[in-house]
Amino acid sequence: MLRSKDIVQRHPQNPAALLDAIRDVQEAFGHVPDEAVTGIAAHLKLSEAEVRGAASFYHFFSLTPRGAYAVYLNASITSWMAGRAAVAQAFEEEAGCRFGEVTADGLIGLFPTSCIGMSDQEPAAIINGVVFTRLTPVKARHLVLAMKAGKPIERMVSEWGDGANQSDLVRAMVSNNIRKRGSVIFGPFEPGSAVRKAVARRPEDVIAEVKRANLLGRGGAGFPTGLKWEFCRKEPSDLRYVLCNADEGEPGTFKDRVILTEIPQLLFEGMAVAGYAIGAREGLLYLRSEYAYIRRHLEAVLERMRQEGLLGPQVAGKKDFSFDIRIIMGAGAYICGEESALLESAEGRRGEPRNRPPFPVQTGYRNRPTAVNNVETLCTAARIVTYGAPWFLSMGTAKSSGTKLLSVSGDCERPGVYELEFGLTVQELLDIAGAKDAFAVQVGGPSGACISRQGFGRKIAFEDLPTGGSVMIFGPWRNLFEIVANFMDFFIEESCGWCSPCRIGNSLLKEKLEKILAGRGSIQDLRDLEAWGKNVRALSRCGLGQTSPNPILSTLQNFRELYEKAVGGRDGFVPDFDLTEATLEAARLTHRLPLLEETSHE
Amino acid sequence: MSEITITIDGRACKSPAGRTIFEVARTNGVYIPTLCNYKDLRPVGSCRVCTVRVAGRYMAACTQVAIDGMAVENTAPDLEDMRRSILEMLFVEGNHLCPSCEKSGNCELQALAYRYQIMVPRFPFQFPVRRVEAVAPKLLLEHNRCIQCLRCVRSIQTEDGRRIFVPQNRSRWRKIGVDPRLAAELTDEMALKAMEVCPVGSILRKGVGFAVPIGRRKFDKTPIGTDVAEGLPR
């Protein structure tokens, strides 16, 4: 019998090992039992409260048992649109417990989870680390029956997806769905080409090339990559780091998953190029827990690159440049996509953002200058170094050069990954994806903007509609308010809770929205929604809180008429409960006439 | 060390470089409200009550370093209303029943509510169900009143650097957890310090209460902030 003590002892006696120790215990026992908390605290010289604090922060860690089979069924809007309700019901009925619970015998636990990066093949779930896509009620029942028969989870996967998903090291039923290959990310790639090109030049020249190409960060914020590298290089320090942010958690995005599955070497070469440029010896890939199933494949690619001399000492034969890459696992927290929260998490703590300044290029991983870059950004940088800035500048718009990977999901015929040049309009994208009668398009995920038909002529580019890559399409039969409510639930779930506007404000916004949905809203409520939303946006500490009111603010702006219809011209104070109904029971008991609602709004 | 000058609502304020806007304001006799900031503790920017506006951008005065030439807005009516909205949020988030609270009159949240003349919050009360924790022999943890300022987290540690108060969970479920084992070993001095750093009545020393009668407490006579600057917001 494996003891938690033995697992804990395997780790160095350093607080930085906290999340690794918790993860190992979680994997072995399905939760972090009390004795393991005590053991970890003693071993790492932390208080037990610190261990519990870290374990309770991440969605895939738990201090209480989650079941021998822990089912995490995606709760994002694309999952609901693809029939989540019936699948969830099938799981509940067959397992005999509700979502949020574990069966009495401890066999099966059912839990909702935020977007797992499978929006083009929903409803999807992760069960003990294994991904199941395109679930149906029938499939859900079969899965539960197999669990009850004690079948190993890996053997429940009967079909594999396309490309490297079929390889021995992945064996996942996930589909890549690459619909359009552009020339930057999905163009022909000769392994080793980027690294060799880079080390043949001076690091300063590599940075200059990336600057000339006007590469802007692909995560959505659009910070100039060359400038970031330059800041990092110029910061005096004995050590520097490249940290690749592979924690794509924005609902509706899944393009990094496809890069990691199909062309991980391009990414790793991009990291080596960045390392060479800034003067780093180590790169870290922070991989979201949802993509743990790709890890063995990634490790194998890293090992092969080491053998080929593309990583390790003297990369590509370059004296004085040694560089290697280590994978760090996430544990389920959208906020860790924020770069300073990512750093906290990478250092083994709760993923709560840091105060800035100082910025990561000054004080990043282990307080050293760190270039934090998105997966797609690093791949793009590798290509720029290979083919040069003029080639890159020939694509896209004047302000947004190159191509962008878009993860397209929702009501369209061809969901999947598209590599397209910047500058195409929303309508052009809808045509390519086969979305004939789109009514609303969410560009950039919940933290982005919800565009109505009037905005379909807008361009996908940093200067008009910036996006990290998430594009969700909604047909006219969808209820816009359900979508907005789902997005707000997402932010409520994923806020770290550090600052008061985000911790409290999002719940208040959601409550107000529900009041309107219940038919008890007024024009005053719309004014409140807008004012409160703007306050949360202005007052919050990090990007999460500063964008969390966007689902409401963006639809209030672009779909105003739906809100106005919902409040039906009522103004002033409308209570959020029905007075007559609320007092009915008391009236009955006391043999009085029920109170009549004065502000009748029918 | 070089000296910088910033303006706060048009008034020139001089300071050595490297100080936060909050520190510059305080040394120049300008009051910026705060709940989470506390002397000698590393600022965390959690309550956001000290939010100021610089060139149209909002920032927490406690964490933002003042840069020479900055024009800081501190008392613009819309900004003050935003701060008031944060105070109101904190009130509706927990269960704050001032008349029965041991900290009434010494409570900074209550004092700020008076200063900002809050009568009724604009937000609906959330009435959360929160347990009172009495596990520590010397302390009572009243989670109903906690505003997550992290002052206790930052100021109370063991000699070897382990934290006794630590945030647990996240988002609206986040709370400050106490380590029962380490809390049991708290000295009287540390227990008293924990209560003192708490801006509200969330950490209470067991065995004593109402040692100073209501009416003779810190904010009973003069509003919060008047020790820094005379005058009250409009």
- Please, are residues A73 and B186 in contact by the beta-carbon 8 Å criterion? no
* Contact at CB, B163 and A47, closer than 8 angstroms: yes
Residues in B touching A39 (Cβ below 8 Å) = none
pLDDT surpassing 60 at residue B98? yes
Nearby residues of A147 by Cβ (< 8 Å), 6 or more positions away: A68, A69, A95, A107, A108
Kindly report the average pLDDT of chain A as a whole number.
Answer: 96
Residue among A449, A440, A426, A443 nearest A547 (CA): A449
Query: Measured in whole angstroms, how far is the alpha carbon of residue B26 from the centre of its chain?
Result: 15
Which of residues 447 through 466 in chain A touch B, CB cutoff 8 A? none
Q: Do B89 and A355 count as a contact with CB atoms less than 8 A apart?
A: no
Q: What is the pLDDT of residue A577?
A: 86
Per-residue pLDDT, averaged over A469-488, amounts to: 97
In degrees, rounded to 5, the angle at the alpha carbon of residue B113 between the alpha carbons of residues B108 and B115 is: 90
Whether the predicted pLDDT of A267 surpasses 60: yes
SS3 call for A312: strand
Q: Is A501 on the interface with B (CB under 8 A)?
A: yes
Taking an 8 Å cut-off on Cβ atoms, the answer to whether A496 and B124 are in contact is: no
- E runs forming strands in A365-520: 370-374, 403-410, 416-421, 440-443, 449-452, 470-474
CB A75 within 8 A of CB A290: no
Q: How many CB atoms lie within 10 A of CB A96?
A: 14
* pLDDT at site B233: 65
- Cβ distance A62 to A31 under 8 Å? yes
How far is residue A560's CA from residue A546's CA, in Å, rounded to a whole number? 22
Contact A148, A285 (CB under 8 A): no
Q: Do A49 and B179 touch (CB under 8 A)?
A: yes
In this model, does residue B217 exceed pLDDT 60? yes
CA distances (Å), origin A341, targets A24, A37, A242, B8: 22, 23, 15, 32
CATH class of A179-393: alpha beta
Q: Do A500 and B93 touch (CB under 8 A)?
A: yes
From B171, B180, B181, residue closest to A503, measured CB to CB? B171
Chain A residues with CB under 8 Å of B60 CB are 355, 541
Mean pLDDT, range B151-174, rounded to an integer: 96
Min Cα separation A231/chain B (Å):
19
CB A195 within 8 A of CB A205: no
Q: B93 vs A511: CB contact, 8 Å cut-off?
A: no
Q: Tell me phi and psi for residue A37, to 5 degrees.
A: -60, -45
Residue-wise pLDDT for A37-68, tens only, equals: 999 999 999 999 999 999 999 999 999 999 99
Return the closest-CA partner of residue A474 out of A519, A426, A514.
A426
Please give the residue of chain A at the shortest CA–CA distance from B173. A497
Residue A601 has what pLDDT? 46
Structure tokens at A476: 């006219």
**Strand blocks (E) in B55-95:** 57-60, 71-73
- Widest distance between CA atoms in chain A: 93
Over range B161-173, report the average pLDDT. 96
DSSP state of A49: H
Sign of CA dihedral A591, A593, A599, A600: positive
Residue B234 has pLDDT above 60, yes or no: no
Whether domain B3-75 has CATH 3.10.20.740 = yes
Residue A80 has pLDDT above 50, yes or no: yes
Centroid of chain to Cα B217: 17
Chain A hits for B82, CB-CB cut-off 8 Å, are 535, 538-539
List % helix, strand, coil for chain A (3-state, nearest 5): 45, 15, 40
Question: How many Cβ atoms sit within 10 Å of the Cβ of residue A577?
Answer: 11
Q: Find the closest chain B residue to A354 by CA distance.
A: B44
Beta bridge partners of B163: B157
Distance in Å, alpha carbon of B184 to nearest chain A alpha carbon: 13
Q: Is A503 on the interface with B (CB under 8 A)?
A: yes
Query: Are residues B124 and A576, on separate chains, in Cβ contact within 8 Å?
Result: yes
Which residues in chain A have their CB less than 8 angstroms from residue B122's CB? 528
Report pLDDT for A580. Answer: 86
Mention every residue, 6+ apart, whose C-beta is less than 8 A from residue A287.
A246, A247, A260, A294, A295, A298, A327, A328, A329, A330
Substitution target from B170, B173, B179, B181 for chain A, most A beta carbons within 10 A: B170
CA A354 to chain B, closest CA, distance in angstroms equals 8
Residues of B in Cβ contact (< 8 Å) with A335: 170
Helices and strands in chain B: count of H runs, count of E runs: 7, 10
B149 neighbors B115 (Cβ within 8 angstroms): no
Residues of A with Cβ-Cβ distance to B73 under 8 angstroms: none
Q: List, in order, residues 6 or more apart from A579 with CB less than 8 Å away.
A: A595, A596, A597, A598
First CA to last CA distance, chain A: 66
What the block records as the tokens of A234 is: 């110029």
Q: Supply the CATH classification number for the domain A69-161.
A: 3.40.30.10
> Is the four-CA dihedral A335, A341, A342, A345 of positive or negative sign?
negative
Q: What is the pLDDT of residues B50-70, one digit of tens each?
A: 999 999 999 999 999 999 999
* Pairing, β B3-8 against β B11-16: antiparallel
Cβ pair A497:B172 closer than 8 A: yes
- Predicted pLDDT at A600: 44
Whole-number Cα distances in Å, B137 to A47, A112, A429, A579, B187:
18, 39, 64, 46, 10
Distance from the A49 Cα atom to the nearest Cα atom in chain B, whole angstroms:
5
**Pairwise CA distance, residues A88 & A82, whole Å:** 12
Chain B contact probe: residue of A59, A338, A496, A504 with most B CBs at under 10 A:
A504
**What average pLDDT score do residues A417-446 get?**
97
For the residues A568-596, what does the mean pLDDT come to? Answer: 87
Give the rounded distance of the alpha carbon of A385 from its chain centre: 28
Taking the C-alpha atoms of B118, B119, B121 and B126 in order, what is their torsion angle to the nearest 10 degrees? 120
CA distance A388 to A210: 8
Say if residue B135's pLDDT is above 90: no
Helices (H), A48-188: 48-55, 77-81, 84-95, 137-148
Task: Output the six-digit token pair for A135.
Answer: 């679930």
**Residue the block writes with tokens 């406690």:** B62
Q: Strands (DSSP E) along A268-402, which ranges? A: 282-287, 324-329, 370-374
The mean pLDDT of B173-179, rounded to a whole number, is 96
Asked if A165 and A176 count as a contact pair (C-beta separation under 8 A), the reply is yes
Which amino acid type is present at position A151? K
Q: How far apart are CA A581 and CA A470, in angstroms?
A: 43
Beta bridge partners of A449: A443
Beta strands in B51-93 (DSSP E): 51-54, 57-60, 71-73
Query: In the prediction, which pLDDT does A599 show?
Result: 47
Q: Is the pLDDT of residue A1 over 90?
A: no
Task: Report the distance separating Cα A111 and Cα A133, nearest Å.
Answer: 16
Tell me the C-alpha distance between A55 and A175, whole Å: 32
Fold (CATH) for A406-474:
Ubiquitin-like (UB roll) (3.10.20)
Q: Where are the beta strands (DSSP E) in chain B?
A: 3-8, 11-16, 51-54, 57-60, 71-73, 132-133, 139-142, 165-168, 175-178, 203-205
Find chain A residues with C-beta within 8 A of B46's C-beta: 498-500, 541
Is the Cβ pair B163, A48 closer than 8 Å?
no
Please state which CATH number belongs to domain A484-567: 1.20.1440.230
Listed in sequence order, the DSSP H helices in A295-352 are 295-307, 339-346
d(CA B140, CA B145): 12
Cβ contacts of B78 on chain A, cutoff 8 Å:
none
Q: Which of A78-82, B173-177, B226-230 has the lowest mean pLDDT?
A: B226-230
Confidence of residue A597 (pLDDT cuts 50, 70, 90): low
Classify A235 as helix, strand or coil.
coil
3-state secondary structure at position A146: helix
pLDDT score recorded for residue B1? 63
> Could you tell me the pLDDT band of residue A598, with boundaries at 50, 70 and 90?
low
Both structure tokens of B85: 């909205």
Which tokens go with B195?
Answer: 């209560």
Of the listed ranges A255-264, A432-441, A584-593, B122-131, the least confidently predicted one is A584-593
Strands A470-474 and B11-16: unpaired
Residues with Cβ < 8 Å from A76, sequence gap 6 or more? A114, A115, A119, A122, A251, A252, A486, A490
How many other CB atoms are found less than 10 A from the CB of residue A100? 9
Query: So where are chain B's domains?
Result: 3-75, 86-217
Please say if the pLDDT value at position A579 is more than 90.
no
Residue labelled with tokens 């359009």: A180
User: Which positions in chain A touch B86 (Cβ < 8 Å)?
Assistant: 500-501, 539
The answer, for A520 touching chain B at a CB cutoff of 8 Å, is: no
Which of A47, A52, A355 is facing B45, going by the closest CB pair?
A355
